[in-house]
Structure formats: structure tokens, C-alpha cells
Amino acid sequence: MVKSLKIVVTGASGFIAKNLRKYLSEKNVDLISISRNNFKDFKCETKIISKNYDEKNILKKIRNSDAIIHLVGIGKQSINEDYDVINTDLTKHIVNLSKKGKIKKIIYLSGLGVSPNTSLGYFISKYNAERLVINSGLDFTIFRPSYIIGKDDLFSKHLKKQMKSGEIKIPGSGKYSIQPILISDVVKVIFESTYQPKFNNKIVDLVGPDYVPFEKYVKLFSKGVKTKIRKINLEDAYHDAIINSKSDFGIDDLNILIGDFKGDHKKLSKISEIKFQSVLELLQTGRLL
């Protein structure tokens, strides 16, 4: 039996956080949830709305928490939102708040493919954030997630939007693979990492058991729906991403998609001892969404 836990969640209004907060609430965790935007709160939850994550609004309420789960991040840059400001600088601020508030552990969601050798702006910002967490002196777990799938996830919403238009576009060959993981498994793993010492001071790939070519995934996802699947020239896809902020794929969406990154699911399985669901199996039986 897990003792009563006090857990802080940042980025509370996001897709992962909504599912995680619901799960933690059902486990009767004492929750402190922070977001820049308003959100509906669950039972056992203290809600904090803070545009800049101001210390004076937050520190007193989060003091002596068992863990802080830092979920704020952006995957697409604009003139208003910058990778370094959101992914790196805010993480530095959260690390400092955690130390001042004597929080026992920090859990950070990075990205599959992050490494010291990357040349991709998004990954560089995540890598720098990882270093801040590792060097904080706090117990930590860093998760590097692949595509996280569930009700209202951005990846599936993007495919559904294309299906409604009657055509799904596949950039390039479609032979590059993805390793999707279900949100229901993700929240279980993150919860475990808040109290299980075996997760301490580890970087773990947050990936599902299936490593599947993107073209195959799209065909299964759109099975039973009258939708055309069309491969588009990769150069055209990048050109559109550069000149059109409303393009189907952003530049880094394309970089991540065709990056063909493969995570270590066996390590995740061994540490968590969770029986992971296969996204492919759910797609094949039509029970995914």
C-alpha cells in the first residue's frame, strides 16, 4: 500500500496532465496542479493558475511535496513561443522552486530521440532541460516519450482531421517507424515513478511494445473509413512547413516523425513491471479510440 502522497503537476491543462491528474485523483493523491490556463479540478486537488509560475503564488503551497511532475513543454515554435524559453528556462525555474520548496523528487518528460549528438532545436532544448534536472541534486526520473495515444491526443486528432478531409498525407516513403504508447499505461508508469526508488536517477524511454512503420499505422488507423492515403514528396512537405504556419506538419513534426527513433521498451517493462497494451492490437480490433 502506497502511503499518502503529495504530488505537484505542472502544465495541468495539457493532454497528458489531464489524464494523469484524473488517475492520481482516483488514487486519493493530494494534488497541487499548476497551469497558465484555467482548468477543471478534480477531488483532492489544489488548483493554481499562474501565467509565469510565480514563486510567490506557488512556493508555499508546494513545500515538502513528495514529487513534482513537470509536463510543460512545446513541440512547435512560433514568434510568441520559443523552445529555449518554455522547454529549458521554465524547467530551470521549476528545478529552483523544487529545491527551495524541499520537494523530494522531480519527474521530467523529455522526448524520444533526445541525445547529446542532436542538431535539432527542439531536442537541444529538451537535452539542456534534462541536464538541469540531472544536475539539480534532487532525485529524478527523466522519461523520453514516443507518441502518446489516447482520447484527444494531438497525433490522433491530426490524423482524424485529415480523414475528415478525405485524404491522409504521408510525407516521403512512410517506411520510417514510430513506437506509440497508450496514455492509460503512461499514467501508471509516471505514478509508479513518484514513489518507487527503482526509478530514481534514471532516464527511461517511455515507449510501447510496437515498433511500426508509419504507413502501416495510418492504414490501420483509418481502417473502415473511406479515406484516400497519399504519399507526398518530402521536399514539398518541408517547404510547406517552412512557409505555412498552418501546414499539416511543422518542421520539427517532420524531423521527429522521419527520425525513426527506437526506444528501449524492455527496460521500461522490467523497471515498471507493467503489462503494456499493444496500440497495434487495439487498432486492429477497432478498440483504440
Domain boundaries, the chain: 6-148+181-208+262-276
CATH fold of 6-148+181-208+262-276 reads Rossmann fold (3.40.50)
What is the tens place of the pLDDT at every residue in 22-56?
999 999 999 999 999 999 989 879 999 998 899 99
pLDDT tens per residue across span 155-206: 999 999 999 999 999 999 999 999 999 999 999 999 999 999 999 999 999 9
pLDDT at 283: 87
What percentage of the chain carries pLDDT values higher than 70? 97
For all residues of the chain together, what is the average pLDDT?
92
User: 3-state SS of the chain?
Assistant: CCCCCEEEEECCCCHHHHHHHHHHHHCCCEEEEEECCCCCCCCCEEEEECCCCCHHHHHHHHCCCCEEEECCCCCCCCCCCCHHHHHHHHHHHHHHHHHHCCCCEEEEECCCCCCCCCCCHHHHHHHHHHHHHHCCCCEEEEEEECCEECCCCHHHHHHHHHHHHCEEEEECCCCCEECCEEHHHHHHHHHHHHHCHHHCCEEEEECCCCCEEHHHHHHHHCCCCCCEEEEECHHHHHHHHHHCCCCCCCHHHHHHHCCCCCCCHHHHHHHHCCCCCCHHHHHHHCCCC
pLDDT in tens, 228-284: 999 999 999 999 999 988 887 888 889 999 999 999 999 999 999 999 999 999 988
Report if pTM > 0.85. yes
